[in-house]
Structure 1
Amino acid sequence: MAVKEEKKRRLTQLSDSKGLISALAFDQRGALKKMIQKYQTKEVSPLQITELKSLVSEELTGAVSAILLDPEYGLPAAKARAAAAGLLLAYEQTGYGDTVSRLPTCLSSWSVKRLKEAGAAAVKFLLYYDADGDTAVNQQKQAYIERIGAECQAEQLPFFLEILSYDEKISDKASPEFAKLKPQKVNGAMAVFSNQRFNVDILKVEVPLNMDYVEGFTSGRLVVYSRQEAVQAFRDQEAAASLPYIYLSAGVSARRFQETLIFAYESGAKFSGVLCGRASWGDVVPIYIESGKEAARQWLQSQGRKNIDTLNTVLQQTAIPWKEKWT
């Protein structure tokens, strides 16, 4: 019970007054390097990554309940965050998911104890998981998550498990072929890791379908899911998750992410918040590279803050407190 109460106390530090998780995700490393590299010819420097993370943290964390950062480049940003914003730290290596099996890999010089000592109120780990994939591979992944869950139990830190679905035989996640499989991939993985043996406290997950293929959202593209099929996918997701879950933005636009949250709510999904990344801050990258730090700051103070405020308004209307599912 002492572990449970301490985890609950720390989850409260990451939540707003209503018990919703309105968190900013900026733990990108390899992906961020690629984003920056698109706008310059010189090699991306660690200073650029660190400075941009700190800038975003300084300007946007006053409007969120928490921020997710990485311990490799994000610790200065952790110090720059607003006093009321809680801190999650990522535990996985960047880029480990480039192989077919995508076996999980922790940061080699970090542990849950060290993340806690660095100020983390919770630990996040990203797992690539194919619910229909090779059984031996999935057993390895499940055992790995059991170890991380045990570490978090020992340190009394909440464990946020981020699950990214994929298919071992389909490389293009944006394709209609993968879209047809996505509901089972996402919801199947959530059902697996809701089991208490993993000691996961919050699931950070994708919406269970690609909204670009949903009737009424396609903008002239191929329709893969009827509106009713899309509603059912969210209902199935709710049924699959016995733990509180929050949504990741998966790089979509701010407007599309907000529309998706409303659709999820109307379909019966009882999510407890978001860990939103590029949908909130992504457009600042070219401004930072091409126009400099102060121009980036101005964008964050205006459009970046607007993105956060609009998302928070949607959350207040759609999300439920994590305590309602957390037992």
Structure 2
Amino acid sequence: MKLTPGKLAGMKAVSDSRGVIAAAAMDQRGSLQKALAKEKGVPDVPESMLEDFKSIVTEVLTQYASAILLDPEYGLPAAKRRSKKSGLLLAYEQTGYDNNRPGRIPDLLNHWSVRRLKEAGADCIKVLIYYSPFDSKEINDEKHAFVERIGDECRGQDIPYFLEFVGYDPQSGDEKGLEYAKRKPESVIRSMAEFTKDNYGIDVMKAEVPINMKFVEGVRSNAGKGSAYTRKEAMELFRKSAAVATKPFIYLSAGVSNEEFAETLELAAESGVKFNGVLCGRATWAAGIPVFAKQGEKAFVEWMKTEGVKNIQNVNEKLKAATPWYEVYGAELKAALA
């Protein structure tokens, strides 16, 4: 596999000196708006509040992150406040999904293109889709075409393409429950195998971990509501999902607590998988939402500089086990980066 000059430059921009992607995520929109409104006890909050929240998170966390993931809707002011050593990923998808039809069909931002995101300063493009290998062939084929089109657009602009896939239960079951935890490994493994195919043009998979830590026997994060896997089985599932990936992959934090995500990365490291970093969002800053909403910006800045920094440093400590993304591309690229 070879990387074109633009893709190589984009990948270097979002990596640390080791070639590991130690990125923070702050591209939440709808969920952040709802969370802020709930904490303030109001039906809605102004866009300026989202911009301010994102700017504070970005300014603090990019001192400790190789890159920040933002959205072009509310995140461009924040992008200007990031550390000079920190790269920029911009989200291309609309927040949420189409509720008017089955299958959680994604859509792109109406006024944006890969060209426009690149012109706005993006080093890499990120797209999130909800994907389940258990859904119908018709729904998944539509998503495959969607992902392919963006791959072609990114190739045309010579910019790296990060795909984030988030699994779900097509039967509308509880995705946080024990039954889905048992099916999650197959969902993640089959999704990884699908989207690392060359026709999609994806450069980095932003992947879910293949297990739910709350249902792993004998770990600190076990929620006490039963077990879907032993510790040994969980480690084997990490290895199985990594084995099908032919492209670099990083883990997403998926809204779990900082403690749970840190333990997840410990287990990944113990299992010996060669993951290439993280894109960690809510696990670093979500606990500060009530502080921002109820005590204001100044209090939130202080919270971020103490608790937020502690959270990202906790994750960074676990990233010592991550391997450089360029190893996936072989020794030739490693030599070129030296």
TM-score of the superposed pair, with normalisation by structure 1: 0.97
Post-superposition CA distance 1:119-142 (Å, at most 9, x none): 000000001111121001111110
> What's the counterpart of residue 12 of structure 1?
12
> What's the counterpart of residue 55 of structure 1?
56
Secondary structure of residue in 1 paired with 2:109: coil
Post-superposition CA distance 1:250-288 (Å, at most 9, x none): 111111101110101111221100000010011111001
Partner AA of 2:90 in structure 1: L
Q: In structure 1, list runs of 5 or more residues that go unmatched.
A: none
Question: 2:201 & 2:238 partners in 1: Cα distance?
Answer: 24
Count of residues in Structure 1 that have an aligned counterpart in Structure 2: 326
Deviation at 1:222, TM superposition (A): 0.5
Secondary structure of residue in 1 paired with 2:62: helix
Question: 1:144 & 1:215 partners in 2: Cα distance?
Answer: 38
Partner AA of 1:178 in structure 2: Y
1:92 aligns with 2:100: no
Secondary structure of residue in 2 paired with 1:63: coil
Q: 1:97 to 1:178 in 2, by over 3 A?
A: farther
> What's the counterpart of residue 120 of structure 1?
122
Question: 1:189 & 1:321 partners in 2: Cα distance?
Answer: 22
> What's the counterpart of residue 66 of structure 1?
67
Question: 1:235 & 1:170 partners in 2: Cα distance?
Answer: 28
> What's the counterpart of residue 108 of structure 1?
110
Q: 1:162 to 1:294 in 2, by over 3 A?
A: same
Post-superposition CA distance 1:54-79 (Å, at most 9, x none): 11111111110000000000000000
> What's the counterpart of residue 212 of structure 2?
210
Secondary structure of residue in 2 paired with 1:246: strand
Deviation at 1:5, TM superposition (A): 2.5
Deviation at 1:97, TM superposition (A): 5.4
Secondary structure of residue in 2 paired with 1:24: strand
Question: 1:104 & 1:219 partners in 2: Cα distance?
Answer: 32
> What's the counterpart of residue 41 of structure 1?
41
Question: 1:97 & 1:215 partners in 2: Cα distance?
Answer: 36
Deviation at 1:233, TM superposition (A): 0.8
Question: 1:100 & 1:271 partners in 2: Cα distance?
Answer: 33
Deviation at 1:326, TM superposition (A): 3.5
- Percent identity of equivalent pairs: 47
1:176-325 matches, cutoff 5 A: 176-217=178-219, 218-316=222-320, 318-325=321-328
Runs of 4+ in 1 over 6 A off after TM superposition: none
> What's the counterpart of residue 24 of structure 2?
24
Q: 1:151 to 1:86 in 2, by over 3 A?
A: same
Secondary structure of residue in 1 paired with 2:80: helix
Question: Which stretch shows the higher mean deviation, 202-211 or 219-228?
Answer: 219-228
Q: In structure 2, list runs of 5 or more residues that go unmatched.
A: 331-338
Question: 2:3 & 2:210 partners in 1: Cα distance?
Answer: 32
Question: 1:243 & 1:87 partners in 2: Cα distance?
Answer: 20
Aligned partners of 1:3 and 1:153 also within 8 Å: no
Aligned partners of 1:232 and 1:267 also within 8 Å: yes
> What's the counterpart of residue 160 of structure 1?
162
Post-superposition CA distance 1:91-132 (Å, at most 9, x none): 000111545311121111100000000000000000111112
Question: 2:36 & 2:126 partners in 1: Cα distance?
Answer: 24
Question: 2:65 & 2:84 partners in 1: Cα distance?
Answer: 11
Question: Which stretch shows the higher mean deviation, 23-32 or 38-47?
Answer: 38-47
> What's the counterpart of residue 145 of structure 2?
143
Secondary structure of residue in 2 paired with 1:80: coil
TM-score of the superposed pair, with normalisation by structure 2: 0.94
Question: 1:171 & 1:35 partners in 2: Cα distance?
Answer: 23
Secondary structure of residue in 2 paired with 1:283: helix
Deviation at 1:3, TM superposition (A): 6.2
Partner AA of 2:97 in structure 1: Y
Partner AA of 2:106 in structure 1: P
Post-superposition CA distance 1:177-208 (Å, at most 9, x none): 11110000011001000001100000001100
Question: Which stretch shows the higher mean deviation, 262-271 or 77-86?
Answer: 262-271
Secondary structure of residue in 2 paired with 1:125: strand
Question: Which stretch shows the higher mean deviation, 83-92 or 215-224?
Answer: 215-224
Secondary structure of residue in 2 paired with 1:285: helix
Question: 1:229 & 1:113 partners in 2: Cα distance?
Answer: 44
Secondary structure of residue in 2 paired with 1:152: helix
